[in-house]
Amino acid sequence: MSNIPYPQPMMQDSDPINALPVDTNPPSPNDIHLVNTFFSPENKFTVDAIVKESKDSIIIFILYIILSLNKIDEILSTIIPIVKNSPYLNTLIKVLLMGILFWIIKFYYLSRQDTH
């Protein structure tokens, strides 16, 4: 196998930071308003809302992982023997179980935590 030399681009030195252009004009009122809007304490609710809304996704993710385990299939097939022969019925029961568990977790467990 022969080594083929590939041309490599020349590395150019970067500009030193003190040589970069700087805008010495004072910020406009629009710029000041924009910065104050982004970094004001009143906008803290946005981060809190994202965290609060992501709880649902995390609950669904965990329930999906748990209900996808083979042990759950074995337990379902011992409780409901027809599930062993029908993958569609198995999936239907898991979906119903997931919906019920999600509702219980969201509306009972998490709603009690929000009131404290």
pLDDT in tens, 47-59: 677 777 888 889 9
Do 45 and 52 touch, CB atoms closer than 8 A? no
SS3 37: helix
- What pTM did the predictor assign? 0.54
Domain ranges, residue 108: 44-114
Amino acid at 48: D
**Residue 95's closest CA among 76, 114, 113, 82?**
76
Number of structural domains in the chain: 1
Report yes or no on 79 lying in a domain.
yes
- Encoding tokens for residue 106? 């969201």
Query: 84 versus 45: which is more confidently predicted?
Result: 84
Chain centre to alpha carbon of residue 7 = 43
Report yes or no on 36 lying in a domain.
no
